[in-house]
Structure 1
Amino acid sequence: MTLSASEQQSADLDAVNADLQRIAQHQTAGRLAEAGAMLDNLLIRYPGHPRLLHLKGLNLAQTGKVADGLALLDAVIADSPDPVVLVDAGTLRAQSGDLPRALDSFQQAVEIAPNYALAHANLGAAQLLNQQFRAAIPHLQKALELDNRVLDVHLNLAQALIRVGNFDPAIDTLYKALAIDPKSAAAHSHLAAALFRRERHDSAEHHARRAIELAPDAAEPKLHLGNVLAAAGRMDEAVQLLLEIAGKPPTGATALSRLVHLRKTTEDSPELAILRQYQARLADLVPEYRSTLQFALGKAEDDLGNHAAAMEHYHKANAESRALHPYDIDAFRTRATRLEQLVTPDLITRCGGAGISDIAPIFIVGMPRSGTTLMDQMFSRHPDVQAGGELAASPRALRRNARIRAALEQEISPDDLTADDFARLGEDYIAGLHAEGLRAGYVSDKMPANYLYVGLLAMALPRARFLIMRRHPLDCLLSNYMQNFGQNQPFSTRFSDLAQVYRSFDRLARHWSALLPDRVREVPYEAVVAEPEARMREIIAFAGLDWSDAVLDHTRSSHQVNTASMAQVRQPIYGSAVARWRRYGPLLHDLAAELRDVLSDDELAACGVAPAA
């Protein structure tokens, strides 16, 4: 019987498909030589066939001949840029450490096939590895839109969201990941991190402990559990857990840094010995961990009284951090000036009184490291106050109000704003509080950067009171410089930027106090430390509350603390942080020179700076 041409072609196709299926079986079983031999035979019959060259390239890569395999894939791509081949080539390059070319391959695949889920997933994963967190998010979201069954895509999206501070969507994503695999240690661990940042400490502790059950040798969930325990004031437990993983890089570098910042370092501290071991191989670490450890070394040397050595480490730490997180000081100053100019007596007269009076928020604002956490902890002890901590309610409310943003960006005139715009702002702020479970008549909000928005928030929330914390500029700015804020406060990495931000803060604090004298109170940190009862009686009365002795015993607060001050606020009020800058004296010459006109002649001289003319 003779087959027709079409029947013969069909038979040949069936035979090739059977061979391809057998090749796949060989590869799955690790029989790569057998798979390669079959591919070579097929290529004799079908020379230059792109599908066979693609498979041959992958097979070569699996046998360790990655360069030869990539050469075949590149030949296929040059002839016809198939998105599947581009993704495979990108994956091989990423696995070989060639991330830039991997990103190019994935980007080409996405452009050719916009609905190819794997291309978006791999592009997002590569961008995540390259620390392009914001760029990764839309590609990972698109991958899940096309195929939401892949656990790793959920995990990658959650990590990107966490790195840019979008904790709520990260939490939602991770709960979806757990629906796919309830026993994913990584999902539980990332969820613990995100929940901790949202100050949902009980849930964070649960997921950290579950991750440890599922992966007892993993360091990351132990780091997150240590953070939760420290925030709750369970310092001994936190220290024990962090010590357990401190010597295990890379997570151990972060754990060690947290440990160094939780307690005073002494010559016989076990963490100091581990820190010295890391110091000997800093050059082998990526910049983020070098910065983290340089900050820890600075803190340790400061504890030991070696101030010159400490400052040298802080300079190196901030240089590394600045390279990772650049800061646009001009953009900040422009925004601060526009906020000052937007809220005028005329605007207050025209639009004031129409906000939301359901609650009386107590905004505790100021420069970071100015005493906002201490003040919030004291308020948290008052029986009528629900302490919110560092809330994101105000920036979120501002993002939701396009007309106020447009006026701020000078896209519309302030005259175009109405009382309803500020009522909406107040409604959105309160909705943010309710989303956090904050429903008391008095709620404290200690987001320091709210000092920028005092005027807007005062119009949106007529019963709000604003406490602007002030601390000696050298103490405050030195404390910022010594703190590893990462991307959260990038202005803290350079003396000149710190000075410029302080000037803007100082101008706004004076402006709001003069514009809203019945609503705004400037609070010197040093005065609270020196006379806590006298000062707190004034402040409590200013907030419209009855006096409670409990506010003086903030160490018994059940409110958990996530900020850089978590160890200090568990201690009684102390004065050792006052005039701390004098220990560094001339080492602060460049910072003092930037602040020449706000420091006394004595203070300038202590820093080796000639007095202002």
Structure 2
Amino acid sequence: MRPFFIVEGPMLAEQSHKNKQPAEFTQRANEALKHGCFTDAAAIMRQAVSSRPDHPDLLPLAIRTLIYVGAHREANHLLDRYAQLSSNDDRHRGLCAELYALVQRQAEAVEIYRALAVNGNRDARYNLGVNLLATGDLAEAEQVLEALIVEDPADAQAQLILSGLRRVTADRNHIERLQQALRSQRLPAMERVKLHYALGKEFEDIGEFDQAFRHFQLGADGRRGMLKYQVETDQKTLALIAGYHNSLEPIHTNAAVGQEAVFVFGLPRSGTTLVDRILSSHSRCDSFGEITDLPMSLMVMAGRSLPKEALVQETARWAPEAIASSYLGRLESFDSSAEKHIDKTPLNFLYAGLIARSMPGATMIWMERHPLDACFAMYKTLFKMGYPFSYSLEDLADYYIAYDRLKRHWQEMLGDRIRIQSYEKLVQDFDSEARALANTAGLDWEASCGEFHKNRSTVATASSAQVRQPLYQRAVGHWRNYEEQLTPLADALRAGGIELD
């Protein structure tokens, strides 16, 4: 284990930093981050904390830079130190809670937000509700959010989260209240978008599918209009990956390397969280959730900011031992005694070739769902960040076609190194498919895997409420409720060679 605040690399030659002000350190670190020099930024902030150990203003950036370079254990210890130093400062306590949530320590975040909420702090109360949702305390989360909305019906974010907590019914829903909030002429554009998504979800719950689609479309159109996004950029990147990563050579000489890593990926809303919960319910397996450690390890290795094309091209030439060492070192830095660790970042499918040649012992599970169900599930979700292609049916079709081509490329190149898991088969033949998943990950079957909904670990994804429920099949073929509205999407997918029947 590396000592805290160690000064490393070229920074050892510098003079004492005792007299430097916190702003000088943070300015230098931010400048390094701007140029993609993550290791330099972390070294600067380690120096900063070493020279001014009791200055809380340094700690948020220091913790973030440690996370960027994968020093997770060190970041968590420093975060606990930050919590002690900031115990009497509400601003720092709020930042501390935000960082606890970032590193998926929602229980600590809840404790801080609960204390901050005592005086009625609205942001603290909202964040308390969100983190209670992640920890599975749905009833209390509902109470907190409901109280916020009673005070301010125009709080669209709270309305959106509350609508997603449970399935509403024709007799018990928030539709009238949402519609009333939407009538406000002074409502900011993004708040209007959130209310449309909330209404879409509630109309869908009660079977009013025409109304649901209308609101999903209004919400998606509004969100798409705020983005400077061109799907052609992603199409080009997906094609470049297949072009540059068209061989497994050279491959890591040790076939067991990476056996502790279980990658679960695929498009968002395709069932990755379900698989994650099944496998992480095993006594020998845990989940680190949607971490960014694989792409971040590559960016740190690059040592500088690179455009997508250059990064794709360079990584194809890197030594597999170096890639494995960088990523697996980051996994080891998490506090965990489990033998297997799940990384369920959906877009890790981009790196399937790199994973295969650098970590031949790793498990890769690719979630697959009917194209129209997969696309529509994304379309009706307002993501916190990422997935800009999901707010237009035209963009979705273009992205999905490029995604499918890359998937076929990996299947041809990697064969049975990847388990392609059908979401439909999993929910319709659960016992057989779930056991096969455990076997793929090198795990013997345990009854707890079949009771995944009892898993109390945190879930900070759009599926956080759903995975607390026993297995259900209502999402299979759900797109058929919108068959007419999705005809342009279906036609575009078929024209791109995607089979839908």
TM over 0.5: yes
Shift of residue 523 of structure 1?
Answer: 0.6
Q: Distance in 2 between matches of 1:484 and 1:413?
A: 32
Match of 1:242 among 142, 145, 148: 145
Q: Assess, with a 3 A threshold, how the Cα gap between structure 1 residues 577 and 416 changes in structure 2: closer, same or farther.
A: closer
Q: Assess, with a 3 A threshold, how the Cα gap between structure 1 residues 338 and 271 changes in structure 2: closer, same or farther.
A: same
Aligned residue for 2:225, secondary structure, equals helix
Q: Distance in 2 between matches of 1:453 and 1:360?
A: 17
Question: 2:208 is aligned with what amino acid?
Answer: N
* Aligned counterpart, 1:309: 211
1:315-350 per-position Cα deviation (integer Å, ceiling 9, x unaligned): 2211221233332312212221122122233xx233
* Aligned counterpart, 1:193: 98
Q: Assess, with a 3 A threshold, how the Cα gap between structure 1 residues 288 and 413 changes in structure 2: closer, same or farther.
A: closer
Q: Distance in 1 between matches of 2:224 and 2:56?
A: 31
Q: Assess, with a 3 A threshold, how the Cα gap between structure 1 residues 300 and 461 changes in structure 2: closer, same or farther.
A: same
Q: Distance in 2 between matches of 1:275 and 1:153?
A: 40
Match of 2:193 among 276, 291, 302: 291
Asked if 1:381 corresponds to 2:286, the answer is: no
Q: Distance in 1 between matches of 2:205 and 2:211?
A: 11
1:396-443 per-position Cα deviation (integer Å, ceiling 9, x unaligned): 11112229997973589779935xx32121122122223332453211
* Aligned counterpart, 1:46: none
* Aligned counterpart, 2:448: 550
Asked if 1:203 corresponds to 2:108, the answer is: yes
Q: Distance in 1 between matches of 2:305 and 2:365?
A: 24
Structure 1 unaligned spans of 5+: 1-114, 125-133, 604-613
Q: Assess, with a 3 A threshold, how the Cα gap between structure 1 residues 480 and 172 changes in structure 2: closer, same or farther.
A: farther
* Aligned counterpart, 1:254: 157
Q: Distance in 1 between matches of 2:315 and 2:105?
A: 41
Shift of residue 534 of structure 1?
Answer: 0.8
Kept after mapping to 2: 8 A contact 1:257/1:292: yes
* Aligned counterpart, 2:295: 395
Question: 2:234 is aligned with what amino acid?
Answer: F
Shift of residue 248 of structure 1?
Answer: 4.2
Q: Distance in 1 between matches of 2:77 and 2:280?
A: 29
Question: 2:196 is aligned with what amino acid?
Answer: Q
Instruction: Tell me whether 536-545 or 434-443 shows the greater mean CA deviation.
Output: 434-443
- Superposition RMSD in Å: 3.9
Kept after mapping to 2: 8 A contact 1:188/1:210: no
TM alignment of 1:95-244, pairs within 5 A? 182-213=87-118, 216-244=119-147
Q: Distance in 1 between matches of 2:448 and 2:76?
A: 35
Q: Distance in 1 between matches of 2:324 and 2:221?
A: 40
Structure 2 unaligned spans of 5+: 1-20, 31-35
Kept after mapping to 2: 8 A contact 1:260/1:271: yes
Asked if 1:369 corresponds to 2:269, the answer is: yes
Kept after mapping to 1: 8 A contact 2:173/2:202: no
Kept after mapping to 2: 8 A contact 1:266/1:304: yes
User: Structure 2 length normalisation: TM-score?
Assistant: 0.80
Shift of residue 371 of structure 1?
Answer: 0.3
Kept after mapping to 2: 8 A contact 1:154/1:176: no
Q: Distance in 1 between matches of 2:315 and 2:220?
A: 43
Aligned residue for 1:274, secondary structure, equals helix
* Aligned counterpart, 2:404: 506
Q: Report the number of matched residues.
A: 455
Q: Assess, with a 3 A threshold, how the Cα gap between structure 1 residues 353 and 327 changes in structure 2: closer, same or farther.
A: farther
* Aligned counterpart, 1:41: none
Shift of residue 194 of structure 1?
Answer: 3.6
* Aligned counterpart, 1:476: 374
Q: Distance in 2 between matches of 1:413 and 1:350?
A: 15
Shift of residue 218 of structure 1?
Answer: 1.7
Q: Distance in 2 between matches of 1:241 and 1:342?
A: 50
User: Structure 1 length normalisation: TM-score?
Assistant: 0.66
Instruction: Tell me whether 318-327 or 553-562 shows the greater mean CA deviation.
Output: 318-327
Shift of residue 533 of structure 1?
Answer: 0.9
Shift of residue 365 of structure 1?
Answer: 0.6
Identity of aligned residues (%): 29
Asked if 1:409 corresponds to 2:312, the answer is: no
Kept after mapping to 1: 8 A contact 2:265/2:349: yes
Kept after mapping to 2: 8 A contact 1:361/1:442: yes
Asked if 1:456 corresponds to 2:354, the answer is: yes
Q: Distance in 1 between matches of 2:225 and 2:117?
A: 34
Kept after mapping to 2: 8 A contact 1:354/1:422: no
- Larger RCO: 1 or 2 (CA < 8 Å, sep 6+): 2
Q: Distance in 2 between matches of 1:154 and 1:413?
A: 36
Q: Distance in 1 between matches of 2:353 and 2:198?
A: 38
Aligned residue for 1:205, secondary structure, equals helix
Q: Distance in 1 between matches of 2:93 and 2:199?
A: 31
Aligned residue for 1:370, secondary structure, equals coil
CA radius of gyration, larger in: 1
Q: Assess, with a 3 A threshold, how the Cα gap between structure 1 residues 454 and 153 changes in structure 2: closer, same or farther.
A: same
Give the number of the structure whose residues are more often helix, by fraction. Answer: 1
